[in-house]
Amino acid sequence: MTGVLIDGKQVAAALRAEVAAKVATLPYQPGLAVVLVGDDPASAVYVRSKDRAAAAAGIAARTIRLPAATAQAELLATIAALNADPTVDGILVQLPLPPQIDARAVIEAIDPAKDVDGFHPVNVGHLHEGRPTLVPCTPLGVMKLLASTGVALRGARALVLGRSGIVGKPMAALLTQADATVTVAHSRTRDLAAECRRAEVLVAAVGRPEMVRGDWVAEGAVVIDVGINRLPDGRLVGDCATAECAGRAAAITPVPGGVGPMTIACLLENTLTAAQARRG
């Protein structure tokens, strides 16, 4: 490997420490409520780590666990109660939700001022208008990882691989706002490899194990691998073939230990941002 591995754990630890230091100066304790519906094991793991990280940063975290059979009206009533609770600054509903629940309606029911996932249409709108308020945690974390590499985004050719609402689209908006020249590629893109090869900054968020090969990467590019894919043999890999890509990239995030830790650290930062905006 020639490319530098970007240490997401270290950047995330620094951000968590920064949030904790700011929280310690507040005359109140910010509150985060995480709602978990059902018993999806992966979701349960995520929720536990969010809870632990929040507590470590001095945030009052509480998890509301509801059974898998919860009716939509019941979940909406839970959200209404959290919206009205002055001790709650951030509300996060862990996705995916069971099939009887309309995730869109649930996200839209969250008070935008408490929407620490940044998925509410009001916050999505602010981001795309170029005046971000609460920004989705994963793309926000990617921007911080890019900053940690020192790569100049202004005028750079950036390629975002994937156009989901939680990663690709907000990622493209943030890079555009940072004055990069952004291309968004997806499953209908012709000659994906050629598009990737033009990029000075490549962010992969496709959910396809090791799809981005070494010869898709331009010499000296910075590569951020958002993908988390579990292989049949249990190994966890990203959307990029890390060793191959690192042979050409100037820097690349590993999986695990790259983007993943940043997502939770940014959730804590968003909770602090929401608390400060609400409470002055």
Q: Which residues are annotated as a binding site for NADP(+)?
A: 162-164, 228
Name every residue whose Cβ is closer than 8 Å to that of residue 198 and which is 6 or more positions away in sequence.
157, 159, 183, 218
121 upstream amide cis, omega within 30 of 0: no
Cα–Cα distance measured from residue 235 to residue 232, given in angstroms and rounded to the nearest whole number: 7
Q: Which of residues 38-97 bind ligand NDP (CB under 6 A)?
A: none
* 227 touches ligand NDP (CB under 6 A): yes
* 205 touches ligand NDP (CB under 6 A): yes
Q: Which of residues 123-182 bind ligand NDP (CB under 6 A)?
A: 138, 162-164, 166-168
DSSP state for residue 98 in the 8-state scheme: P
When the beta carbons of 3 and 260 are compared against ligand NDP, the nearer one is 260
When the beta carbons of 196 and 249 are compared against ligand NDP, the nearer one is 196
Give the x-and-dash track for 206-225 against ligand NDP (CB under 6 A): xxx-----------------
Bridging pattern class, strands 229-230 and 236-237: antiparallel
Strand partners, 161: 185, 204
When the beta carbons of 35 and 113 are compared against ligand NDP, the nearer one is 35
Bridging pattern class, strands 251-252 and 4-5: parallel
Of 29-37, 91-99, 214-222, 256-264, which segment contacts ligand NDP by CB under 6 A?
256-264
* 186 touches ligand NDP (CB under 6 A): yes
Three-class SS of residue 143? helix
Tell which residue, 1, 3, 11, has the closest CA to residue 146: 11
Interface residue with ligand NDP among 110, 146, 259, 267 (CB under 6 A) is: 259
- Which residues carry out catalysis? 50, 94, 117
Cα–Cα distance measured from residue 141 to residue 156, given in angstroms and rounded to the nearest whole number: 19
Residues that bind ligand NDP (CB under 6 A): 138, 162-164, 166-168, 186-189, 192, 205-208, 226-229, 259-260, 263
